[in-house]
Amino acid sequence: MEMLKKLFSLEGKVVVITGGAQGIGKAVAEHIAAVGGEIVIIDQQVEKAEETAFEIGQKYQRKTFAVGADVTKPEEVALAIEKADREMGKLDLLFNNAGIVLQKPVVELNPEEWRKVIDVNLNGIFFVAQAFGRYLIERNKDGAIVNTASMSGTIVNYPQQQASYNASKAGVVQLTKSLAVEWADKGIRVNSISPGYIFTELTSFVREDWRALWKELTPFKRMGKPEELAGAVIYLLSESASFATGTDLIIDGGFTIV
Ligand code: NAI
């Protein structure tokens, strides 16, 4: 019964969302506010993050805060967490979501390009999770983290060639499991979501013929909407998922099962 009252509620929780200025992070942030959460957006696009935080705050009458940081820079991440804690009074949960994609054949990829994708998508997820884990552990606080991986951590996309992205996301899935085990006795749950093709700024610039093929290859015959991921993130962050850790929730319109 106690569980039922709290089902999918994030009432009173302060939730940090990286990459929340736009796309999946923004849509999920809005839904988190709708179920009672207060929002901190960490993004390198500071002005856009501020606008998003303000918009959500107004719409749902919640306290929100935006702070600029590049997730590949551990010192900036630590400072952002410190500022957010000072502003909000506490931090409870993390949606660790900032990421980039690069579609380029391996033979044409230069070392900087490879490093950049791994740096944002894997190192960035690690630095933010590490800073947030430290924050919770230093305060002896329970908490939960959801990392954004991708179905690309499980399958190889086609026809676009994006080995750096795929490798980085497979890394996120395994990092999630490692953190889940390492922090299980600290009361910190760590899970990931693996979206299929979702229509956001990230995918809106992609060639039309590729997008048509993606839809064709997806049993639902369409791309997902960012808000279709919100329920999964809210579930994994909420007390409803109190026995779930190290899991990767694939939300892909059936793409990976055919
Ligand atoms: P997006 O490009 O619309 O949003 C990404 C956000 O992350 C932006 O606000 C950007 O400023 C921020 N960001 C990028 N690099 C950053 C850095 N170094 N430091 C701080 N912030 C940074 O992308 P979208 O589609 O919302 O993607 C969000 C996450 O979902 C990414 O991790 C992406 O890989 C993942 N994903 C997206 C899918 C899709 O089809 N759109 C499918 C599967 C996973």
Q: Is 256 within a domain?
A: no
169 is catalytic: yes
| Assigned domain for 91 exists | yes
Pick from 193, 250, 248, 251: which is nearest to 223 by CA?
Answer: 251
Q: Is 103 in the pocket of ligand 1 (CB under 6 A)?
A: no
Domain region containing 128: 2-250
Residue 86 lies in a domain: yes
Residue at 123 is within a domain? yes
Q: What is the CATH number of the domain that holds 221?
A: 3.40.50.720
Atom of ligand 1 nearest to the CA of 203: 41
Domain-located, residue 236: yes
Residue from 202, 205, 251 whose mutation best tests the ligand 1 pocket (most atoms within 8 A of CB): 202
- Note whether residue 44 is domain-resident: yes
pLDDT (tens, 9 = 90+) of the chain, 258 residues, equals: 677 777 899 999 999 999 999 999 999 999 999 999 999 999 999 999 999 999 999 999 999 999 999 999 999 999 999 999 999 999 999 999 999 999 999 999 999 999 999 999 999 999 999 999 999 999 999 999 999 999 999 999 999 999 999 999 999 999 999 999 999 999 999 999 999 999 998 898 899 999 999 999 999 999 999 999 999 999 999 999 999 999 999 999 999 999
Q: Which of 150, 164, 168, 194 is catalytic?
A: 150
Q: How many domains does the chain have?
A: 1
- In 69-94, which positions are buried (b, 16+ CB within 10 angstroms) versus exposed (e)? bbbbbbebbbebbebbbeebeebbbb
